[in-house]
């Protein structure tokens, strides 16, 4: 799990730097096509016999939509906003929203008071992170599209929460991790086909083929395989604790990106997000123990 956090944090900082000079939609289309083909090849060797019925087909369809929103929102957000702030939104909003989505979709009842307090705390810290960016105190200068990047980061975090719930539903119905990974990126590719500038594809491949491959491997293929193995072999409490360190690890990797100026405000926001996330995980662990 620690390796997952390190690889994904490094990949996201690298992707943010690369997208400054690249056609992001072309790069993402090529990366996700390779990712989809890779996971489909891996799924061919899967022993699970679960079939896609009408109910599961609907879940897969919705999963494809929210996967497209979360991943494209993440990467475009990285283009316009400091990576450590984007990751903070993903880490904080995802688990918090999952609690509320489980209450609605999986009918688990009203969240306990502690989860409501955590949700309010996350909202306040998220507001502080937005102020950091808008006031010019982040590591990346506030630009014309920075507010768009912030919105995408928030939407991506909320979409990730719905993704987790939908994946859990498919696991409950007997699908394996490889099967889910093989069939969750079709919607992302279709959306990118509608956004991409086809005249740029050949040029982008010829000039940035290594960067495109590096983004796909470091931010998608390797992290998704690592987290799948981590969830399989490590206790959920440990998994969540390690994942909560992602904003701080991402902040440290930003020192390798010369365009990002280290910001004490961002670091404080990441510390607060991590503290609330760890407290929330501990409270959930105590309730389930």
pLDDT at 235 over 60: no
pLDDT band at 187 (very low <50, low <70, confident <90, very high): very high
**Between residues 69 and 118, the one the model is more confident about:** 69
Nearest to 2, CA basis, from 219, 178, 214, 246: 246
Structure-token pair, residue 280:
């929330």
pLDDT at 99 over 80: no
**146-172: pLDDT as tens digits:** 888 888 888 888 887 777 778 878 877
d(CA 163, CA 73): 13
d(CA 163, CA 78): 20
Structure-token pair, residue 9:
């944090």
**112-148: pLDDT as tens digits:** 777 778 777 877 888 888 888 888 888 888 877 888 8
* pLDDT (mean) for 103-117: 68
**Between residues 194 and 144, the one the model is more confident about:** 194
Cβ atoms of 269 and 85 closer than 8 Å:
yes
Task: Tell me how far apart the terminal alpha carbons of the chain are, to the nearest angstrom.
Answer: 22
Q: Give me the pLDDT at residue 189, please.
A: 94
Of 105-109, 167-171, 190-194, 269-273, the poorest mean pLDDT is in 105-109
Record the pTM. Answer: 0.79
Average model confidence (pLDDT) across the chain: 81
Q: Give me the pLDDT at residue 105, please.
A: 62
Q: Give me the pLDDT at residue 279, please.
A: 81
Q: Which range, 52-56, 73-77, 110-114, is most confident? A: 73-77
d(CA 171, CA 130): 35
Q: Give me the pLDDT at residue 65, please.
A: 93
Q: Give me the pLDDT at residue 192, please.
A: 93
């Amino acid at each position: 799990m620690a390796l997952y956090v390190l690889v994904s944090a490094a990949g996201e900082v690298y992707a943010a730097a690369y997208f400054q000079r690249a056609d992001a939609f072309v790069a993402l289309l090529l990366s996700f096509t390779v990712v989809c083909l890779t996971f489909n090849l891996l799924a061919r060797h899967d022993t699970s016999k679960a079939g896609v019925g009408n109910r599961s087909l609907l879940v897969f369809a919705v999963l494809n939509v929210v996967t497209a929103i979360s991943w494209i929102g993440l990467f475009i957000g990285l283009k316009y906003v400091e990576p450590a702030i984007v990751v903070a939104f993903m880490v904080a909003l995802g688990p918090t929203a999952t609690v509320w989505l489980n209450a609605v979709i999986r009918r688990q009842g009203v969240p306990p008071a502690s989860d409501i307090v955590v949700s309010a705390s996350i909202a306040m810290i998220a507001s502080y992170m937005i102020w950091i960016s808008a006031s010019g105190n982040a590591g990346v200068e506030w630009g014309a599209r920075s507010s768009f990047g912030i919105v995408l980061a928030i939407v991506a975090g909320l979409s990730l929460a719905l993704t987790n719930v939908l994946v859990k539903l498919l696991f409950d119905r007997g699908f394996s991790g490889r099967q889910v990974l093989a069939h969750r990126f079709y919607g992302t590719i279709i959306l990118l086909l509608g956004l991409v500038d086809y005249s740029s594809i050949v040029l982008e491949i010829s000039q940035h083929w290594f960067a495109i491959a590096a983004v796909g491997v470091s931010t998608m293929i390797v992290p998704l395989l690592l987290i799948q193995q981590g969830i399989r072999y490590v206790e959920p409490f440990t998994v969540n604790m390690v994942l909560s360190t992602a904003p701080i690890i991402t902040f440290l990797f930003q020192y390798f990106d010369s365009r990002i100026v280290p910001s004490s405000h961002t670091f404080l926001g990441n510390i607060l997000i991590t503290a609330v996330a760890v407290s929330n995980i501990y409270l959930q662990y105590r309730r389930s123990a």
